[in-house]
Chains A and B, each alone.
Chain A
């Protein structure tokens, strides 16, 4: 067994553990922290695939920013003590949705034509990534940033006090 495989099993196990913890934990904060574990393990898997840029971005955006916002929101909004209801009547729909997503992903992964063989990955250089991102995919990239901008402005508009509320 190669060392890469050993690390793959360690990281994969961490990712699975974290994911199960996220959905199975009774405590919301524990669930969020399990999510951090899962996301970090996935970043480690990216490194094993030589996608270092993706791994760093994963840690920066998901491991850092998003989970911090999530934890912060949980911390500030959890005012009640005692058990919180973590379940609702949408179990069946959730199962269907997750199953459908899983099926679609499986089919896409099986069907699609990968640019590099998985058992012998190539390390994409930094300049190569920026070429592809800012030349070949420049317009989708800009469109994505526009969507984020719209969301940002929407958040400001929603959270702004209305005329009568201002003290």
Chain B
């Protein structure tokens, strides 16, 4: 390693950071526009043509705003926490390939690196919630840790199934393994689980329990303002972008596609996933924390293990790919039916309890 290497790498990293920042600004604008349209509003309109300069105005406002330091007990932890959340959200981009050549540094253990780095931001959330010395922050932190640790498991298990099919951990080779068909074809169940669990990892609606504004006023971020708050905000959007990109790379075939250049395909696929995430936010209400945990531990994790088992059989006996598609669809259908039946049973038992209580009161 020479100093020119270091200089070149620094330049690449700088370009990546710049790109992520621009994309994040774009995403905030897109989200407000999409949410607005779904709710039959216009979204931001005042700043620039159809409000395109709104993110810049927002960013300026956040930079210029007073950064209030509340009388917290633990100043150092409180101040460092936003960085510990923000830095993993950025360094995870080192190994995500936009196209075959457009990647900062392709790693042999690419996907494992991403998993390892993304886990680390939980530490930052714990630091924020503890350093704030605020009961809402502490509640939000406890919720965040429970949720993020639990949903990390289905994400890892699904990634494992994809790695089994592609036989590599290298992000670039994973995309190349999908040259004949994208993995959503052999792993439709994996795709669904990854989207659901990824959404929970992001802490976005319907899984925004840790920050739930209407219950615990922003959770771990309640005491933050100005630039420190916007760090969390930026990290959230960078992570949304990352989930979109990872879904694209793992399931939708990355940059590969007919006619159009690779980068365009990558952007189209990623933006479609992100659009879906924004759309869900406008459509679904928030889960309750116990429903969320039950869903993860009693449904998602068992079915992820089942998925790995079935994928193992499929690979070991060399079954044709359409049989894996059918098996996966059968698992989706089976899982859905199980959930419906349990829900109906629970509803029936609640109705029964209510009926008994009414009769007791009447008697």
Chain A residues engaging chain B, CB cutoff 8 angstroms:
3-4, 27, 29-30, 33, 36, 52-53, 56-57, 59-60, 63-65, 67-68, 71-72, 75-76, 125-126
Interface residues of B (CB under 8 A from A): 1-3, 6, 74, 77, 107-109, 112-113, 115-117, 119-120, 122-123, 126-127, 129-130, 138, 141-142, 145, 149, 169
Instruction: Name the CB-closest residue of A to B110.
Output: A56
Give A52's nearest chain B residue, CB to CB. B109
**Contacting pair A72 B126 (CB below 8 A):** yes
Whether A60 pairs with B126 at a CB distance below 8 angstroms is: no
Q: Is there an interface contact between B108 and A125, defined as CB atoms closer than 8 Å? A: yes
B120 touches A64 (CB 8 A): yes
Least Cβ–Cβ distance between B97 and chain A, in angstroms:
17
Q: Name A3's closest neighbour in chain B (CB-CB).
A: B1
Task: Decide: B3 and A3 in contact? CB cutoff 8 A.
Answer: yes
Q: Which residue of A lies closest to B117 (CB)?
A: A59
Contacts of A27 in B (CB 8 A): 74
CB within 8 A of B123: which of A53, A68, A125, A126? Answer: A68
A117 to B141, CA, bound (A): 46
Closest to A75 in B: B130
Query: Can you list 10 residue pairs at the A/B interface with Cβ under 8 Å?
Result: A3-B3, A56-B109, A56-B112, A60-B119, A63-B119, A63-B120, A68-B123, A68-B145, A71-B126, A75-B142
Report A80 CB to chain B, min CB distance, Å: 14
Kindly state the separation between the CA atoms of A37 and B131 in the bound complex, as whole angstroms. Answer: 17
With A and B bound together, what is the CA distance between A158 and B115 in angstroms? 31
Distance between A5 CB and nearest chain B CB, rounded to angstroms: 11
Q: Which A residues are CB-close (under 8 A) to B138? A: 75
B130 touches A67 (CB 8 A): no
* With contact pairs A63-B120, A64-B123 given, residues A4 and B112 touching in the complex (Cβ less than 8 Å): no
Residues of B near A75 (CB, < 8 A) are: 126, 129-130, 138, 141-142
B130 and A56 contact, CB distance less than 8 A: no
Asked if residues A64 and B77 are in contact (CB atoms below 8 Å), the reply is: no
User: Are A64 and B126 in contact (CB-based, < 8 A)?
Assistant: no
Contact call A68/B1, Cβ cutoff below 8 A: no
Distance of A63 Cα from B116 Cα, bound (Å):
9
In addition to A36-B123, A59-B117, A75-B138, 5 A-B residue pairs with Cβ atoms within 8 Å of each other are A33-B77, A53-B109, A64-B122, A68-B145, A126-B169
B123 touches A59 (CB 8 A): no
- Do B109 and A126 touch across chains, with their CB atoms under 8 A apart? yes
Asked if A56 meets B108 with Cβ closer than 8 Å, knowing A29-B77, A75-B130, the reply is no
Q: Are A68 and B116 in contact (CB under 8 A)?
A: no
Of all chain A residues, which has the CB nearest B119?
Answer: A64
Known: A64-B122, A75-B141. A56 touches B77 (CB 8 A): no
- A residues near B129, Cβ cutoff 8 Å: 75
Asked, given contacts A53-B109, A125-B108, whether A64 binds B142 with beta carbons under 8 Å apart, the answer is: no
Nearest B residue to A129 via CB reads B109
| In the bound complex, CA of A53 to CA of B113 (Å) | 9
Check if B149 sits within 8 Å of A68, measured CB to CB: yes
Closest beta carbon of chain B to A85's beta carbon, Å: 19
When the two chains form their complex, are residues B107 and A52 in contact, meaning their CB atoms are under 8 A apart? yes
Interface centre among B112, B116, B130, B138 (most CB of A within 10 A): B116
Assembly CA distance A36 to B77 (angstroms): 13
Bound complex: CA A59 to CA B88 (Å)? 11
A61 to chain B, nearest CB (A): 9
CA distance A10 to B164 in the complex (A): 38
Chain A residue at minimum C-beta to C-beta distance from B145: A72
CA distance A90 to B146 in the complex (A): 34
With A and B bound together, what is the CA distance between A58 and B3 in angstroms? 28
Q: Are A29 and B145 in contact (CB under 8 A)?
A: no
In the complex, which residues of chain B have a beta carbon less than 8 angstroms from the beta carbon of A68? Answer: 119, 122-123, 126, 145, 149
**Residues on the A chain within 8 Å of B117, using CB:** 59
Q: How far is the CA of A56 from the CA of B3 in the complex (A)?
A: 25
Max chain B Cβ within 10 angstroms of own Cβ: one of A33, A63, A64: A64
Is the pair A67, B123 in contact by a Cβ cutoff of 8 Å? yes
Inter-chain contact B1/A4, CB cutoff 8 Å: yes
Which residues on B sit within 8 Å (CB–CB) of A65? 119, 149
Which residues from chain A contact B107 at a C-beta distance below 8 Å? 52
**What is the CB-to-nearest-CB distance from B315 to chain A, in angstroms, rounded to a whole number?**
15
